[in-house]
Protein backbone atom coordinates (compact mmCIF):
# COMPACT_ATOMS: atom_id res chain seq x y z
CA UNK A 1 0.00 0.00 0.00
CA UNK A 2 1.35 3.41 -0.98
CA UNK A 3 2.42 5.64 1.91
CA UNK A 4 1.24 9.25 1.46
CA UNK A 5 4.09 11.74 1.10
CA UNK A 6 3.90 14.91 3.17
CA UNK A 7 6.15 17.95 3.08
CA UNK A 8 6.29 21.47 4.43
CA UNK A 9 4.63 22.71 1.26
CA UNK A 10 1.56 20.48 1.63
CA UNK A 11 -1.53 22.69 1.64
CA UNK A 12 -4.87 22.64 -0.13
CA UNK A 13 -5.12 24.03 -3.64
CA UNK A 14 -6.86 27.39 -3.19
CA UNK A 15 -7.62 29.63 -6.16
CA UNK A 16 -7.53 33.47 -6.12
CA UNK A 17 -11.21 33.55 -5.11
CA UNK A 18 -10.70 31.30 -2.06
CA UNK A 19 -12.29 28.25 -3.69
CA UNK A 20 -10.66 24.94 -2.80
CA UNK A 21 -9.89 22.80 -5.84
CA UNK A 22 -10.83 19.24 -4.87
CA UNK A 23 -12.14 17.85 -8.15
CA UNK A 24 -10.06 16.95 -11.20
CA UNK A 25 -11.47 15.87 -14.53
CA UNK A 26 -8.92 14.02 -16.64
CA UNK A 27 -9.33 13.56 -20.38
CA UNK A 28 -7.39 10.43 -21.29
CA UNK A 29 -8.00 10.67 -25.05
CA UNK A 30 -9.53 13.01 -27.60
CA UNK A 31 -10.75 10.03 -29.63
CA UNK A 32 -14.28 8.70 -29.61
CA UNK A 33 -16.30 6.08 -31.44
CA UNK A 34 -19.21 8.56 -31.78
CA UNK A 35 -19.34 11.97 -33.47
CA UNK A 36 -22.04 13.77 -31.49
CA UNK A 37 -23.10 16.90 -33.34
CA UNK A 38 -22.69 19.25 -30.34
CA UNK A 39 -19.29 17.81 -29.39
CA UNK A 40 -17.32 16.97 -32.55
CA UNK A 41 -17.07 17.60 -36.24
CA UNK A 42 -18.02 14.64 -38.40
CA UNK A 43 -14.54 14.44 -39.88
CA UNK A 44 -12.37 15.06 -36.85
CA UNK A 45 -8.61 15.41 -37.04
CA UNK A 46 -7.33 13.78 -33.89
CA UNK A 47 -4.08 14.52 -32.13
CA UNK A 48 -0.97 12.53 -33.07
CA UNK A 49 -0.46 9.80 -30.51
CA UNK A 50 3.00 11.16 -29.66
CA UNK A 51 1.34 14.30 -28.25
CA UNK A 52 -0.79 12.35 -25.81
CA UNK A 53 0.28 11.74 -22.25
CA UNK A 54 1.29 8.15 -21.67
CA UNK A 55 -0.65 6.15 -19.12
CA UNK A 56 2.30 6.51 -16.77
CA UNK A 57 2.29 10.29 -17.20
CA UNK A 58 -1.45 10.39 -16.55
CA UNK A 59 -0.74 8.51 -13.32
CA UNK A 60 2.04 10.94 -12.36
CA UNK A 61 -0.10 14.03 -12.90
CA UNK A 62 -3.26 12.59 -11.36
CA UNK A 63 -1.34 11.40 -8.29
CA UNK A 64 0.23 14.85 -7.87
CA UNK A 65 -3.24 16.39 -7.71
CA UNK A 66 -4.35 13.78 -5.18
CA UNK A 67 -1.37 14.66 -2.98
CA UNK A 68 -2.45 18.30 -3.21
CA UNK A 69 -5.95 17.64 -1.95
CA UNK A 70 -8.01 16.50 -4.92
CA UNK A 71 -10.62 14.10 -3.55
CA UNK A 72 -12.63 13.31 -6.64
CA UNK A 73 -11.21 12.11 -9.94
CA UNK A 74 -13.45 11.85 -13.00
CA UNK A 75 -12.08 10.23 -16.15
CA UNK A 76 -13.36 11.65 -19.43
CA UNK A 77 -12.48 11.88 -23.10
CA UNK A 78 -13.34 11.70 -25.95
CA UNK A 79 -14.54 8.30 -24.96
CA UNK A 80 -12.19 7.11 -22.19
CA UNK A 81 -12.88 3.41 -22.70
CA UNK A 82 -11.57 3.41 -26.28
CA UNK A 83 -8.05 4.20 -25.10
CA UNK A 84 -5.89 1.11 -25.32
CA UNK A 85 -4.80 -0.19 -21.93
CA UNK A 86 -6.99 2.25 -20.02
CA UNK A 87 -7.75 -0.28 -17.27
CA UNK A 88 -4.06 -0.10 -16.31
CA UNK A 89 -4.58 3.55 -15.42
CA UNK A 90 -7.83 2.87 -13.54
CA UNK A 91 -6.18 0.08 -11.58
CA UNK A 92 -3.29 2.38 -10.72
CA UNK A 93 -5.62 5.14 -9.53
CA UNK A 94 -7.48 2.68 -7.33
CA UNK A 95 -4.52 2.65 -4.94
CA UNK A 96 -5.54 6.14 -3.86
CA UNK A 97 -8.98 4.81 -2.99
CA UNK A 98 -7.31 2.12 -0.89
CA UNK A 99 -5.32 4.69 1.12
CA UNK A 100 -8.32 6.96 1.57
CA UNK A 101 -6.55 9.83 -0.19
CA UNK A 102 -9.18 9.73 -2.94
CA UNK A 103 -12.88 9.62 -2.09
CA UNK A 104 -14.19 8.81 -5.53
CA UNK A 105 -12.93 7.51 -8.87
CA UNK A 106 -15.51 7.67 -11.61
CA UNK A 107 -15.98 8.32 -15.30
CA UNK A 108 -18.18 9.84 -17.95
CA UNK A 109 -18.76 7.59 -20.95
CA UNK A 110 -20.99 7.23 -23.98
CA UNK A 111 -21.71 3.69 -22.84
CA UNK A 112 -20.61 1.99 -26.04
CA UNK A 113 -17.90 -0.08 -24.33
CA UNK A 114 -19.49 -0.54 -20.91
CA UNK A 115 -20.64 -4.07 -21.63
CA UNK A 116 -16.93 -5.00 -21.62
CA UNK A 117 -15.67 -2.77 -18.81
CA UNK A 118 -18.47 -2.43 -16.27
CA UNK A 119 -17.48 -5.38 -14.09
CA UNK A 120 -13.71 -4.69 -14.14
CA UNK A 121 -14.40 -1.07 -13.21
CA UNK A 122 -16.61 -2.13 -10.31
CA UNK A 123 -13.96 -4.60 -9.18
CA UNK A 124 -11.31 -1.89 -8.74
CA UNK A 125 -13.55 0.47 -6.79
CA UNK A 126 -15.54 2.56 -9.26
CA UNK A 127 -18.99 2.98 -7.76
CA UNK A 128 -20.86 5.10 -10.28
CA UNK A 129 -20.71 6.20 -13.89
CA UNK A 130 -22.25 9.01 -15.91
CA UNK A 131 -23.55 7.95 -19.31
CA UNK A 132 -24.30 10.45 -22.05
CA UNK A 133 -27.67 9.65 -23.64
CA UNK A 134 -29.81 12.30 -25.29
CA UNK A 135 -32.57 10.20 -26.82
CA UNK A 136 -34.19 6.77 -26.59
CA UNK A 137 -35.24 6.86 -30.24
CA UNK A 138 -32.89 4.66 -32.27
CA UNK A 139 -33.07 6.75 -35.46
CA UNK A 140 -32.59 10.03 -33.62
CA UNK A 141 -29.73 8.50 -31.63
CA UNK A 142 -27.99 7.52 -34.86
CA UNK A 143 -28.51 11.05 -36.18
CA UNK A 144 -27.22 12.93 -33.12
CA UNK A 145 -24.19 10.64 -32.61
CA UNK A 146 -23.62 10.12 -36.36
CA UNK A 147 -21.85 6.79 -35.69
CA UNK A 148 -23.62 5.51 -32.60
CA UNK A 149 -25.81 2.45 -32.04
CA UNK A 150 -28.42 2.74 -29.32
CA UNK A 151 -28.76 -1.02 -28.57
CA UNK A 152 -25.04 -1.17 -27.79
CA UNK A 153 -25.38 1.67 -25.28
CA UNK A 154 -28.44 0.12 -23.65
CA UNK A 155 -26.49 -3.12 -23.31
CA UNK A 156 -23.76 -1.15 -21.53
CA UNK A 157 -26.28 0.40 -19.14
CA UNK A 158 -27.61 -3.04 -18.31
CA UNK A 159 -24.07 -4.30 -17.68
CA UNK A 160 -23.30 -1.35 -15.42
CA UNK A 161 -26.36 -1.95 -13.29
CA UNK A 162 -25.68 -5.69 -13.15
CA UNK A 163 -22.15 -4.90 -11.90
CA UNK A 164 -23.62 -2.79 -9.11
CA UNK A 165 -22.58 0.58 -10.54
CA UNK A 166 -24.84 3.53 -9.83
CA UNK A 167 -25.83 4.98 -13.21
CA UNK A 168 -26.63 8.59 -13.98
CA UNK A 169 -27.80 9.64 -17.43
CA UNK A 170 -26.58 12.97 -18.77
CA UNK A 171 -28.92 14.33 -21.45
CA UNK A 172 -28.14 17.49 -23.37
CA UNK A 173 -31.33 19.51 -23.79
CA UNK A 174 -31.67 20.15 -27.52
CA UNK A 175 -34.42 22.32 -28.91
CA UNK A 176 -36.43 20.61 -31.61
CA UNK A 177 -34.65 17.32 -31.02
CA UNK A 178 -35.51 15.77 -27.66
CA UNK A 179 -38.14 18.16 -26.31
CA UNK A 180 -40.90 15.61 -26.96
CA UNK A 181 -38.92 12.95 -25.09
CA UNK A 182 -38.79 14.82 -21.80
CA UNK A 183 -41.43 12.76 -20.02
CA UNK A 184 -40.60 9.41 -21.69
CA UNK A 185 -36.94 9.86 -20.65
CA UNK A 186 -37.90 10.73 -17.08
CA UNK A 187 -40.23 7.72 -16.86
CA UNK A 188 -37.68 5.36 -18.43
CA UNK A 189 -35.07 6.39 -15.85
CA UNK A 190 -37.56 6.11 -13.00
CA UNK A 191 -38.44 2.55 -13.97
CA UNK A 192 -34.76 1.59 -13.85
CA UNK A 193 -33.81 3.57 -10.73
CA UNK A 194 -31.43 5.72 -12.75
CA UNK A 195 -30.69 9.36 -11.91
CA UNK A 196 -31.06 11.86 -14.72
CA UNK A 197 -29.34 15.20 -15.32
CA UNK A 198 -30.15 17.65 -18.08
CA UNK A 199 -27.43 19.90 -19.50
CA UNK A 200 -27.73 23.09 -21.52
CA UNK A 201 -25.82 22.89 -24.80
CA UNK A 202 -22.59 24.90 -24.52
CA UNK A 203 -20.88 26.93 -27.24
CA UNK A 204 -17.86 24.69 -27.77
CA UNK A 205 -16.31 23.70 -31.09
CA UNK A 206 -15.89 25.24 -34.52
CA UNK A 207 -16.34 29.00 -34.54
CA UNK A 208 -19.17 30.11 -36.76
CA UNK A 209 -21.26 27.04 -36.00
CA UNK A 210 -24.73 28.53 -35.82
CA UNK A 211 -26.25 25.20 -34.73
CA UNK A 212 -25.42 25.94 -31.08
CA UNK A 213 -27.94 28.78 -30.95
CA UNK A 214 -30.54 26.78 -32.87
CA UNK A 215 -30.08 23.84 -30.48
CA UNK A 216 -30.31 25.85 -27.27
CA UNK A 217 -33.20 24.81 -25.00
CA UNK A 218 -33.26 26.69 -21.70
CA UNK A 219 -33.47 24.44 -18.66
CA UNK A 220 -35.69 27.06 -17.05
CA UNK A 221 -38.30 26.09 -19.64
CA UNK A 222 -37.55 22.37 -19.23
CA UNK A 223 -37.93 22.60 -15.46
CA UNK A 224 -41.21 24.46 -15.91
CA UNK A 225 -42.57 21.62 -18.03
CA UNK A 226 -41.60 19.12 -15.36
CA UNK A 227 -43.33 21.23 -12.72
CA UNK A 228 -46.54 21.11 -14.76
CA UNK A 229 -46.67 17.34 -14.30
CA UNK A 230 -44.71 16.60 -11.12
CA UNK A 231 -44.17 18.06 -7.67
CA UNK A 232 -40.56 19.29 -7.53
CA UNK A 233 -38.65 19.56 -4.26
CA UNK A 234 -35.30 21.34 -4.32
CA UNK A 235 -32.46 19.30 -2.82
CA UNK A 236 -29.49 20.79 -1.00
CA UNK A 237 -27.11 18.00 -1.97
CA UNK A 238 -24.14 18.51 -4.27
CA UNK A 239 -22.22 15.79 -6.10
CA UNK A 240 -19.01 17.80 -6.46
CA UNK A 241 -20.04 19.15 -9.84
CA UNK A 242 -22.18 22.02 -11.10
CA UNK A 243 -25.55 20.22 -11.06
CA UNK A 244 -28.43 21.41 -8.92
CA UNK A 245 -30.98 18.74 -8.00
CA UNK A 246 -34.67 18.31 -7.40
CA UNK A 247 -36.72 15.30 -6.38
CA UNK A 248 -39.84 14.38 -8.30
CA UNK A 249 -42.17 13.44 -5.47
CA UNK A 250 -44.40 11.23 -7.60
CA UNK A 251 -41.52 9.01 -8.76
CA UNK A 252 -39.04 9.74 -5.90
CA UNK A 253 -36.25 10.12 -8.44
CA UNK A 254 -33.51 12.73 -8.51
CA UNK A 255 -33.28 15.09 -11.47
CA UNK A 256 -30.28 17.36 -12.02
CA UNK A 257 -29.85 20.57 -13.98
CA UNK A 258 -26.54 21.90 -15.28
CA UNK A 259 -27.16 25.45 -16.42
CA UNK A 260 -23.99 27.28 -17.49
CA UNK A 261 -26.09 29.69 -19.56
CA UNK A 262 -29.26 30.56 -17.64
CA UNK A 263 -27.53 30.24 -14.25
CA UNK A 264 -23.82 30.72 -13.89
CA UNK A 265 -22.54 28.19 -11.32
CA UNK A 266 -19.01 29.57 -11.13
CA UNK A 267 -19.20 30.91 -7.59
CA UNK A 268 -18.82 27.41 -6.17
CA UNK A 269 -16.51 25.95 -8.82
CA UNK A 270 -14.10 23.46 -7.26
CA UNK A 271 -12.80 21.77 -10.40
CA UNK A 272 -10.13 21.96 -13.07
CA UNK A 273 -9.63 19.93 -16.23
CA UNK A 274 -6.52 18.14 -17.43
CA UNK A 275 -6.38 17.40 -21.14
CA UNK A 276 -4.91 14.32 -22.73
CA UNK A 277 -1.90 16.43 -23.77
CA UNK A 278 -1.14 17.68 -20.28
CA UNK A 279 -2.73 21.12 -20.48
CA UNK A 280 -4.61 22.22 -17.39
CA UNK A 281 -7.71 24.29 -18.07
CA UNK A 282 -8.77 26.22 -15.03
CA UNK A 283 -12.20 26.99 -16.55
CA UNK A 284 -14.19 25.15 -19.21
CA UNK A 285 -15.35 28.44 -20.70
CA UNK A 286 -12.05 30.34 -20.73
CA UNK A 287 -8.80 29.88 -22.58
CA UNK A 288 -6.64 30.19 -19.44
CA UNK A 289 -4.47 27.10 -19.37
CA UNK A 290 -1.11 25.85 -18.18
CA UNK A 291 1.25 23.30 -19.70
CA UNK A 292 2.03 20.62 -17.12
CA UNK A 293 3.53 18.17 -19.58
CA UNK A 294 6.67 20.26 -20.10
CA UNK A 295 7.75 20.51 -16.44
CA UNK A 296 6.89 16.86 -15.89
CA UNK A 297 9.02 15.72 -18.83
CA UNK A 298 11.85 18.16 -18.23
CA UNK A 299 12.38 16.94 -14.66
CA UNK A 300 11.14 13.35 -14.43
CA UNK A 301 10.53 12.30 -10.85
CA UNK A 302 10.79 15.82 -9.46
CA UNK A 303 7.52 15.93 -7.52
CA UNK A 304 8.21 19.33 -5.97
CA UNK A 305 8.71 20.98 -9.37
CA UNK A 306 5.52 19.45 -10.71
CA UNK A 307 3.53 20.48 -7.66
CA UNK A 308 4.90 24.02 -7.95
CA UNK A 309 3.71 24.15 -11.56
CA UNK A 310 0.25 22.97 -10.49
CA UNK A 311 0.03 25.60 -7.75
CA UNK A 312 1.11 28.31 -10.19
CA UNK A 313 -1.66 27.23 -12.58
CA UNK A 314 -4.33 27.29 -9.85
CA UNK A 315 -3.33 30.87 -9.05
CA UNK A 316 -4.55 31.76 -12.57
CA UNK A 317 -8.01 30.23 -12.17
CA UNK A 318 -10.55 32.85 -13.32
CA UNK A 319 -13.68 33.81 -11.44
CA UNK A 320 -15.97 32.37 -14.12
CA UNK A 321 -16.89 31.91 -17.75
CA UNK A 322 -18.73 34.13 -20.20
CA UNK A 323 -21.17 31.76 -21.92
CA UNK A 324 -24.24 33.77 -22.92
CA UNK A 325 -27.07 33.24 -25.40
CA UNK A 326 -29.26 36.02 -24.04
CA UNK A 327 -28.51 38.39 -26.91
CA UNK A 328 -29.31 35.71 -29.52
CA UNK A 329 -25.65 35.33 -30.33
CA UNK A 330 -23.19 32.72 -29.13
CA UNK A 331 -21.14 34.95 -26.85
CA UNK A 332 -18.16 33.49 -25.05
CA UNK A 333 -17.82 30.65 -27.56
CA UNK A 334 -14.75 28.44 -27.25
CA UNK A 335 -13.03 27.29 -30.47
CA UNK A 336 -11.80 23.99 -29.00
CA UNK A 337 -13.95 20.89 -29.15
CA UNK A 338 -15.37 19.46 -25.93
CA UNK A 339 -13.66 16.15 -26.74
CA UNK A 340 -10.24 17.76 -26.33
CA UNK A 341 -10.88 19.38 -22.96
CA UNK A 342 -12.95 16.58 -21.51
CA UNK A 343 -16.56 17.50 -20.83
Binding site for [4Fe-4S] cluster: which residues? 32, 36, 39, 266, 269, 283
Sequence-distant (6+) residues with CB within 8 A of 311 are 13, 68
Helix ranges (DSSP H) in 104-204: 114-123, 138-145, 150-162, 182-191
| Annotated binding residues | 25, 32, 36, 38-39, 74, 78, 108, 132, 168, 202, 266, 269, 271-273, 283
Residue 23, strand partner residues? 72, 271
| C-beta separation of 75 from 107 below 8 A | yes
CA 260 to chain centre: 14
- 255: CB partners within 8 A, 6+ apart: 186, 195, 196, 197, 198, 226, 232, 245, 246, 247, 248
Question: CA quadruple 172, 72, 317, 241: dihedral positive or negative?
Answer: positive
Residue ranges of the annotated binding site for GTP are 25, 74, 108, 168, 271-273
Q: Residues comprising the binding site for S-adenosyl-L-methionine?
A: 38, 78, 132, 202
Amino acid sequence: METPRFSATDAPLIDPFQRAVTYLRVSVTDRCDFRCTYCMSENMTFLPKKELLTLEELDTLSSAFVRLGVRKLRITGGEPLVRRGIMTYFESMSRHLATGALEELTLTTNGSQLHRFAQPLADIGVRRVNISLDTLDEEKFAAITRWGRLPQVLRGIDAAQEAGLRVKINAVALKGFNEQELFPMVEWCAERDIDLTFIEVMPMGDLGNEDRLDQYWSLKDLRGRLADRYTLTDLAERSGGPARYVRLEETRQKIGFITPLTHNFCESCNRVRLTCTGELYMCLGQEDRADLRAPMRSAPGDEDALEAAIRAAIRLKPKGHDFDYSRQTVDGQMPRHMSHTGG
